[in-house]
Structure 1
């Protein structure tokens, strides 16, 4: 008989991670009402670094190879440096809902990157799904209207797409490093690198910004640093330890609808009929790509890795 821990815990962990990642876009939009984009990133990276410092003795030791420092530098460049540089500014220009929908491209971008750099098979369905998703993103951007929540949605969506490309690159580098490095140590290194990288922006921000921030903005920043950067990653890794990676990766596709619902409920985001059609095209592209990858896996290949988002 299967123990409850073997079946219930992974599902609960995945559900928690999806909820945290999905609501992170809304929390970021709220925090950005008080903080500048890059100062906010510094705050969440510094907070997460402090947490990881407390638990550093409990982390497993890594077994690096001589040339790993180049991959570690690339890892930190992709995520958090470039990723947050793009996404933090994207969320000042587009809505949380649209940004969340665009995040659905990550699995297919990872698959395309694995095909390009690791010679992993990419089916025609997966390639068609990626093209359909990119078409949907274009339709979502072109159908967007300027409003208070989205002063420049086209540029914002382009920046969000660039952030997702960085996320995909980060996941591919993690695949290369993970056999020799503890994932918690990699995450701690990324948070520390992010805190150092974004420190000048935080020092250059107006001092009154930190003092005048309201309770909701401060709570949102804390939620991003503790709940999303630390909590979501931890929950996802707990699930990965208890179920096949492919099944855990499928949960990533639930993040965009969670972000869409959260944006509508908490921020009052609206989508036109044309944008809803574009969202449907993106969802169809993700499904098409997922089917293609599933067939590859059943034929003996392994699906490209999909890691956790650090929104």
Structure 2
């Protein structure tokens, strides 16, 4: 292992965009896989199992491919902060949120990350916020309100706690991307995600031992839930994160995050096929409005080009 700064290898544009799109496909599936895994696993047990498997695979991969770098002493605090945002806070918000709201609706809210990312850039990097971005936020909030105010039918209702939990995931992802960009100048994607998962595992460990470990014997293990946990570990916690981290190193946070717009579309398709999910008209309209807000936020950038 080395602690020398990693210079990104040259990737063609098709390779970069293929990597980002694949990461979005895997993350879209993750909402469905999580929904199925939670039929058996409790939340913290699922997260610890997912991180344990992902970390084991990544350590083996990193050592055998010689891609795993040693962290510099001055960067340890940034790795600790990186893991606070993802996987710790993000996974808590996303996984508990998915126990309360539809995978498709959750993915629509996660897709607002590109809208709010400029705010972290404003406070941390002093970058200006465009009028188009503000307009996009207003439009998207209107869509989220439409989604949240659907009637009380249990199959379609969206409770406030679920929305707030997904909002925690969105906020965590925004600050994660900012810290990731800082570290990506010195470390490759395998290194970043490996240490992120190792640290995250230990962040979750006290919660697991104190809350859920005493009740493990009560879990009714289902084959489909175990398979989905393994899929989450391999594709969502390993491959997708590495592909996304490598893309961020090459084209930056803002351009990479725009591809989050694909999440609600892909998740809606996968949820309809696998979970047979049917959403009421008001929620579909709300989703369209949220996605419209995402595109409004990009208008200024497109005009400038």
Q: TM-score, normalised by structure 1?
A: 0.84
SS of 2:298 mapped into structure 1:
helix
148 and 213 in structure 1: CA distance in 2 versus 1, 3 angstrom threshold: farther
Q: Which residue of 1 aligns with 2:167?
A: 161
Unaligned 5+ residue runs, structure 1?
299-311
221 and 149 in structure 1: CA distance in 2 versus 1, 3 angstrom threshold: farther
Instruction: Show the 5 A alignment for 1:1-311.
Output: 6=12, 8-57=14-63, 58-59=66-67, 61=69, 64=72, 66=74, 68-143=75-150, 145-148=152-155, 153-203=159-209, 204-205=212-213, 206-208=215-217, 212-237=220-245, 244-245=251-252, 248-295=256-303, 298=305
Cα RMSD of the aligned pairs, angstroms, is 2.5
Q: Which residue of 2 aligns with 1:306?
A: none
292 and 65 in structure 1: CA distance in 2 versus 1, 3 angstrom threshold: farther
Contact 1:142 1:154 in 2 (8 A): no
236 and 30 in structure 1: CA distance in 2 versus 1, 3 angstrom threshold: same
Q: Which residue of 2 aligns with 1:305?
A: none
Count of aligned residue pairs for this structure pair: 289
1:38 offset after TM fit, Å? Answer: 1.2
Contact 1:146 1:153 in 2 (8 A): no
Unaligned 5+ residue runs, structure 2?
1-10
CA displacement 1:107-160 (0-9 Å, x = unmatched): 11112211222111221001111222223222211225442576x633212211
Q: TM-score, normalised by structure 2?
A: 0.85
Contact 2:188 2:246 in 1 (8 A): no
1:60 offset after TM fit, Å? Answer: 5.2
